[in-house]
Structure 1
Amino acid sequence: MRNIFVHIIWVLLAITITSLLFSGCTNRMSLEEIHSKTEEYFSDELQKKHIHNAFLTIYSPSKEIDWTFSGGHFADGREVTASNPFYTASIGKTFTATAIALLVDQQKLSFNDPINMYLPDSVMLNLHHFKGIDYSHEITIAHLLQHTSGLPDYFEDSTIDGSTNVMELLFSNPDKYWYPTETIEFAKTKMKPLFKPGTDYHYTDTEYVLLGLIIEKVSSTALHHFFREHFFIPLNMKYSYMLYRSKAINQTAMLSEIFVGDNEVSGMKSLSADWAGGGLVSTGADLIRFQETLFSGKIVKGNTLAAMQQWIPETYGMEYGYGLRRIVFKELFPILPDLTLIGHSGITGSFMYYCPEIDVYLSGTLNQTDEVKESVKLLVKILVLLNKN
């Protein structure tokens, strides 16, 4: 997810939640009441002009909650249901980071390894020149995972010559299929690094493409096969796959439509530019299965999972680990409950989060880039309710 979560969004969020807290929802509520109110919130999202379909799954083993909400229609009038998978966007970063963590547990690499140990000279050449110094060989895997390498973002950063970035090229050339090395070459030739590795934070998909290449090198298998063999098959994620690169284990319903404003973009082959940083398609149930298994320590070891949760500041009320984001409610606004969300969001309004304080998992999407902040507001409102149970 890009630089969407700025201070003004959290101010708007605080206003919304403050209104909720001082409304009739201040008393304790039954799960039936919370379900009804959540369904109302979800329906409100679907009524918005730019939201054509939406998904929300809420799961809590301790509270015995397993709720799924879906709605909307395809452009041809067919109804959208929970069986239709959705594009997860940057949620895919959590899968890529977990793949790296799994290789750490297998002692095939280390978080602090320099990336030149695993990447060819063709990728490393001129990768990171900053103020006349070549820092390419100082970049570590940890830098890539935590967005602290200083590398530019091929998607949204400005080019040195004022030409279009890859995000703009997605729409001007929708039929282009992007290979991972093409996006790296674009960042190297069209953009400049922002800072010396390890000295600052800058969210960039370029880093996660490099991580994908490292996974492929170390495991001797394509990234989409690695996901299938280590996540999708063992976790029974039957409806998850990499867009334009693989198929789901089971026959899967049509991909729900993605919107950028008024434009429906789910059929653009140029979405292939979003690879290890977010090319995953899944369902709410599959994502929650992955989350629960990860946070219960069944995918990677406990100390490895703890390493993934070494937080650094990202923006107001938010921190970033290794492919994981943490949202701290009380840092957003002091009167909010003492809750946190750990997981990831995507530019399409997608989300995959776990709230450890009340043992609640949430996943879904609004499938609309114009409504990203609304997806986060929706999650916070729901958790405020669940905290009353």
Structure 2
Amino acid sequence: MLNFIIVAQEGMIAEINKLLDEELDKDNVHNVFFSIYSPTKSIDLHSVKGSFSDGSLVSEANPFYTASIGKTFTATTLGILVDRGKLHFDDPISKYLPDEIMDGLHILNGVDYKDSIRLSHLLQHTSGLPDYFNRETIDGSTGIFDLIMTDKEHFWQPSELIQFSKAHFRPNFAPGKGYLYTDTEYVLLGMIIEEVSKMPLHDFFAKEIFEPLSMNSTYLNLRSTGKNALGKMAELYAGGYEISTFKSLSADWAGGAIISTGKDLIRFQIALFGTELVSEETLNKMQEWTYETVGMTYGYGLRKIKFSELDPSFPNLEVIGHSGSNGTSMYYCPDEDIYLVGTLNQLESSKDAVILLARVLEKCTNF
């Protein structure tokens, strides 16, 4: 039986590496990372492919930009503070934010909703606030994504991002009356965490999550460094542009600026779903789902994907975790006890990353 397991795993690894090679062969993909861990299936695979622009190969020692996977860390941090009695999910955000942030934050059809926004609304993207990353501003001015590309030395502060959102966008609906994925909400959550904890967000992440879990290669981009970051960050691309070193990436903060590795992110997932970081009650609250789109629902910094609803050819399985705009994935499949983490490090690869996730999971369950 042992030999059969070894042969089966060798076959699975070969099939998964074939999938990764197919992604790497695409013109706009320069590096691919994928990690799979399952204690019950005896799987512990970490595959890294591709190279840096100078020709040197990427490796497991190179952490990667996780983008919106960071929302799960921000939501988990809120959960930690809830468990400690420092705040409550139903608290109005005006309790923690200064007037210069709250004034003009949410005015819709002449009604000021600033005092109606709850922490839960921000966590679940139901506040109605606009997304400052939206490329179409109400006044025709240049959006932040284009500013990131053209003013790469600009270092964005959180309050500056909120002011940008208020100046160039308008709310979409009253709090609790709809769903709209927006980074604006998570910047506000980061500011609240700093106000309540009296610590910079990156320090709180390090003290309460990274250090206790020995996530030594994980840190918040441009604001801290890993305790034991062995290699430079894998290069991140927007189309044909390599943007990893842009200071303007500071526009991505509490909504998704964490740098990490597959091993570290699996360690985080095990701790989160094992209630090492938050209580069972809080974890259950984080998994109260609202409709996002076909095949996807959203909780508090967590997304659930039902693959068969996305495409009948996909496996009839669900995963819980988060995705990022650069083709990053961090998910757990409870039915199969499989943790999956990966990235294509390309901003145009979000859809391809979901397809890859489904196909990799399918290979894991077929052997």
2:358 is matched with: 380
Q: Which segments of structure 1 move beyond 3 Å, counting only runs of 4 or more?
A: 333-337
Match of 1:253 among 202, 219, 231: 231
Q: In the alignment, what sits opposite 1:353? A: 331
Quote the Cα distance in structure 2 between the aligned partners of 1:249 and 1:281. Answer: 12
- Secondary structure, counterpart of 1:294 in structure 2: helix
Structure 2 Cα separation of the partners of residues 383 and 371 of structure 1: 18
How far apart, in 2, do the equivalents of 1:239 and 1:335 lie? 36
Instruction: Look up the SS of the partner of 2:250 in the other structure.
Output: helix
Offset, 1:157: 4.9
Does structure 1 retain, via aligned residues, the 8 Å contact 2:35–2:341? yes
1:325-344 Cα deviation digits (max 9, x unpaired)? 00012322346433101101
Tell me, yes or no, if structure 1 residue 69 matches structure 2 residue 43: no
The residue that corresponds to 1:339 in the other structure is: 317
Equivalent position of 1:290 in the other structure: 268
Partner-residue secondary structure (3-state), 1:271: helix
Structure 2 counterpart of 1:16? none
Amino acid at match of 2:161: T
Whole-Å separation in 2 of the counterparts to 1:123 and 1:78: 45
Paired residue for 1:165, among 143, 153, 159?
Answer: 143
Alignment-derived partner of residue 110 in structure 1: 88
Match of 2:348, SS state, is: helix
Letter aligned with residue 286 of structure 2: M
From 152, 168, 175, give the equivalent of 1:190. Answer: 168
What is the distance in 1 between the residues matched to 2:230 and 2:287?
33
After superposition, residues 129-140 of structure 1 pair within 5 angstroms as 129-140=107-118
Counterpart AA for 2:275 = G
Aligned-residue offset at 1:358: 0.1
1:197, distance to aligned residue in structure 2 (A): 0.5
Which of 38, 41, 60 in structure 1 is aligned with 2:38?
60
Equivalent positions of 1:1-389 (< 5 A) are 30-334=8-312, 336-389=314-367
Report deviation, 1:71. 1.2
Shift of 1:182: 0.2
Supply the distance in 2 between the matched residues of 1:91 and 1:362 (Cα, whole angstroms). 13
TM-score by length of 2: 0.96
Aligned equivalents of 2:313 and 2:164: distance in 1? Answer: 45
Percent of residue pairs bearing the same amino acid type: 51
Q: Give the match's secondary structure for 1:42.
A: helix
1:303 deviates by 1.0
Question: In the alignment, residue 127 of structure 2 is paired with which amino acid?
Answer: S
What is the number of equivalent residue pairs in this alignment?
361
Shift of 1:159: 1.6
CA contact (8 A) 2:315 2:358 kept: no
Report the CA distance between 1:46 and its aligned residue: 1.2
- Cα shift at 1:307: 0.3
Separation in 2, partners of 1:357, 1:38:
20
Quote the Cα distance in structure 1 between the aligned partners of 2:257 and 2:360.
Answer: 27
**Preserved CA contact (<8 Å) 2:36 2:339:** yes
Distance 2:135 2:163 in 1: 14
Q: CA deviation at 1:369?
A: 1.2
- Find the aligned partners of 1:207 and 1:236 in 2 and give their Cα distance: 29
Gaps of 5+ in 1: 1-28
Please say if residues 218 and 229 of structure 2, whose CA atoms lie closer than 8 Å, have aligned partners that are also in contact. no
Secondary structure at the counterpart of residue 207 of structure 1? helix
CA distance in 2, matches of 1:166, 1:364: 26
SS class of match (2:322): strand
Query: Is this contact kept in 1: 2:303–2:321, CA < 8 A?
Result: yes
Counterpart residue type for residue 85 of structure 2? Q
